[in-house]
Structure 1
Amino acid sequence: MTTQPPYLAIAAEIGRRIRSGELSPGDRVPSTRAITREWGVAMATATKALAALRQEGLVRAEPGVGTVVVATPGDGAAAGLSRDRIVRAALELADAEGLEALTMRRLGTALSVSTMALYRHVPGKGELVRLMTDAVCGEVPMGPVPADWRAGLEHAARWLRGVYARHRWMAPAMASFTRPVAAPNAMAYTEWVLTALQGTGLTAAQKIYTHLTLFAYVQGVGLADDLEERARQDSGISDGEWMERNEPRFDAIQSAGSYPLLTSLTEAEGFDLSLETLFEFGLRRTLDGIAALIGETSA
């Protein structure tokens, strides 16, 4: 789990004292010098902690006095804040603008609360993305596991592709295989796939490798989808318009005759350069390969 920066942890503790009544409106909060002594941090960290409290609206700098409490907790938009509400708002932002646009500060602005208020519910962006991932994996039930392993794996692949299509940021967010996301709904997907492979004769290791191979294939197409969408947004033109603009350049290169096989393929009837066509072709070949493995194991 992502830990808070030291200044946020200090601000959270002082905020707790304010909310519990240990510090009342008008009381002085610990000064930067007092914070450095109590928490053993640098002066810069103490200054950032007080700045975070000011940003949250709990304290103000009083000339000749110091930093004093000016608000009681639970006022305003932060009163109705919850982890579920934060996750829903984060999903809307990531779906609309991508995961790079999602920051705790930006999310606080969208919810009309301070960044510090968010940290009382979610310790950081890493944990927030984990919660988002689990939420989207639980949106659509996978249904019962078919008796036929191939039908099961095909359904699992299409279900996962649907998740990536609805939330394009998901593919890059789940890119690590050695550091999988510890999320119940995501883990339920793995359990579903392993259940579909029961009775195939595959060993436990082969089953998990089969699951990861299929997962990696769907994720790869999902990453390509994400890159294509970014290209469309950055360029402001469709795929067809892009090809039309670049066709003279391709024609000039191919006219030299240096790439006869590539030229014949791209000019072949029925050739469709789309990710959907590629997904269908690759899924069938992946399942064919798994079928061969299962056949060998059974034999």
Structure 2
Amino acid sequence: MTKLTNASGRPPYLRIVAEIRRRIEDGELGPGDRVPSTRRIAGEWGVALATATKALSTLRLEGLVETRPRVGTVVAGSTPATQPRRQMLSAPSSEQELTLDRIVRTAVEIADTEGLSALSMRGVAARLGVAAMSPYRYVPSKDDLVLLMADAAFGEETYPADAPEGWRSRIELAARTLWTLYRRHPWLAQLGSLSRPLLVPNLMRHGERMLSALDGHGLDPTTLFDAYVLIYSHVQGLAVHLEWEAHAQASTGQSEDQWMDSRAPVLRELAQSGRFPTFAKVLAAFDDGYDLCFDALFESGLTALLDGLTPLVEGRAAIRRYSDRTRRPAVPDRAADRPVR
């Protein structure tokens, strides 16, 4: 780990900026190459995450790097001249321009590119180019900020005014909408569990869509809510792995395929041990290995889940409809119609 000293008299973040700038100008890092993440900078240079964030923010203001969602910070397409770079550095965002919306959007950007663990109030302030304590004037704590981020992210997708016909089509629409949001912001799936759910209005809006689709089919409240929880847990439970994989790639520098290739000898040893015959048989059937695709698993799992729920939902409704059709009208009291003699 490279420890920064104060021998040069410059703030640590500027010395980090100078080193990364040198790597870019010398061609060690080319356009599109990933630059060190905030976590890696903190470890390599022995600084706080907020300092690392400020360094990357400065490079971004200079136009040397750019942020790409779920990829991270990469070298920009071209290196600007020295004079424009100085001009950009001399005009950071002012305190007067700071708003709660900008704070939330910036925090979401950090979580999207660096992961939720890299988020800090100081880091948000550094990226916005304001004093470290300025965001606290708008939001009391990081926990409060995360709730605002989640509500904003879950509110990015809306539903058509006319709901699709049929409970199943409505469930599929809501589930796929949620999956799209988790795909866009993988950190969202880490925020709440089934036993301690995330209570923000825009997430509940998606839940309301699912509940209303299941309502009106003769299900008692417990059964109805159990069905909703099962559907939601499928979406969120699978989405949890999106952030885990992104974090693993950032920390190891290996893609999923590269990591599996490096574990091939261990996998082969397990398959050839004779202890797991079914596993070995299935593994041998793959010519090019098993292709883990989260999107495909989401769709096949949703189909299987809804197939399993169909008899529960439609069966009781069908019985009720049949009873309504076959219920005989009450026999009128003919005696009441007889004239009095």
* Residue from 168, 174, 177 that aligns with 1:159: 177
Equivalent residues in 2 for 1:99-178, closer than 5 Å: 99-143=116-160, 144-173=162-191, 175-178=192-195
Query: Larger relative CO (CA 8 A, sep 6+): 1 or 2?
Result: 1
Question: Is the deviation greater in 105-114 or in 95-104?
Answer: 105-114
**Structure 1 counterpart of 2:240, which letter?**
L
1:263 equivalent in alignment to 2:285:
no
The answer (yes or no) to whether the contact 2:139–2:145 under 8 Å persists in 1 is yes
**Structure 2 counterpart of 1:115, which letter?**
A
| Structure 2 match to 1:203 | 220
Cα distance in 2 for residues equivalent to 1:219 and 1:181: 12
TM-score normalised over the length of structure 2? 0.61
Deviation at 1:269, TM superposition (A): 5.3
Deviating runs (4+, > 6 A) in structure 1?
A: none
| Structure 2 match to 1:294 | 313
| Structure 2 match to 1:229 | 246
| Structure 2 match to 1:190 | 207
1:85 equivalent in alignment to 2:85:
no
Query: What's the secondary structure of 2:164's corresponding residue?
Result: coil
Equivalent residues in 2 for 1:51-90, closer than 5 Å: 77-90=94-107
Cα distance in 2 for residues equivalent to 1:226 and 1:134: 18
The answer (yes or no) to whether the contact 1:94–1:169 under 8 Å persists in 2 is yes
| Structure 1 match to 2:21 | none
The answer (yes or no) to whether the contact 2:115–2:247 under 8 Å persists in 1 is no
* Residue from 300, 305, 308 that aligns with 1:281: 300
Deviation at 1:226, TM superposition (A): 1.3
Deviation at 1:140, TM superposition (A): 1.7
Deviation at 1:130, TM superposition (A): 1.1
Unaligned ranges ≥5, structure 1 = 1-75
Cα distance in 1 for residues equivalent to 2:193 and 2:269: 41
**Structure 2 counterpart of 1:191, which letter?**
E
The answer (yes or no) to whether the contact 2:272–2:280 under 8 Å persists in 1 is no
Cα RMSD (Å): 2.0
**Structure 1 counterpart of 2:169, which letter?**
A
| Structure 2 match to 1:214 | 231
TM-score normalised over the length of structure 1? 0.69
Cα distance in 2 for residues equivalent to 1:145 and 1:195: 11
Query: What's the secondary structure of 2:158's corresponding residue?
Result: coil
| Structure 2 match to 1:15 | none
Larger radius of gyration: 2
The answer (yes or no) to whether the contact 1:145–1:192 under 8 Å persists in 2 is no
**Structure 2 counterpart of 1:253, which letter?**
L
**Structure 2 counterpart of 1:134, which letter?**
D
Percent identity over paired residues: 37
Question: Is the deviation greater in 287-296 or in 210-219?
Answer: 287-296
| Structure 2 match to 1:31 | none
Unaligned ranges ≥5, structure 2 = 1-92, 320-341
Residue-pair matches, total? 223
Distance 1:295 1:256, change over 3 A: same
The answer (yes or no) to whether the contact 1:89–1:107 under 8 Å persists in 2 is yes
